[in-house]
Amino acid sequence: PEQSSPRLPCVPTMAEMEFLDVEYEEDKYNEKCGVFGVYNAVKAAHTAYYGMVGGQHRGQEGAGLVSCHVKPDGGNEFKLHRGQGLVTDVFKPEDVKELDGLHAIGHTRYSTAGGKTALEGFQPFCVRYRSGKNLALAHNGNLSNAAELRSFFQTQGV
């Protein structure tokens, strides 16, 4: 008889995930975007770059990488590089070297919205709060409630 490999107890099966609003078609490729984060590591962007190369199968339309350098005053400075194509096409060694800092977020794009070529839709996103602080983020999927989120954060002074 055919034996299946043991399943980790913390990983639900697809049947157990029916309560989630997830489109899953067993006979199709179901990957969407790749996100890789590095926190508190020397050459964080280098580590994130190699993580993105490893996750390239999750998105091949474009890639982006943001690094964060914490300044002595406690603020942060972001450096962002993104482009269309495979990770190894978007990033040359000198591009990754310029992304200094101890923290980094990388993203490989599989578009589900926003078109395939508009760079302003490529992630990670970097924004500046009204208070002058910065935020960088990347996500997997669509933000179907983006307008509500924007309104909420604006009322909170963000």
33 is catalytic: yes
Residues 6 or more apart whose CB falls under 8 angstroms from that of 77 comprise 68, 69, 71, 101, 134
Closest CA relative to residue 110, chosen from 49, 72, 59: 59
Region of 132 (left: φ > 0; alpha: ψ -120 to 50; beta: rest) is left
Query: What are the angstrom distances between the C-alpha of 6 and each of 11, 12, 23?
Result: 11, 12, 25
Q: How far apart are CA 11 and CA 104, in angstroms?
A: 27
Which stretch of DSSP H or E encloses residue 62? strand 62-70
Q: Which residues are part of the catalytic machinery? A: 33
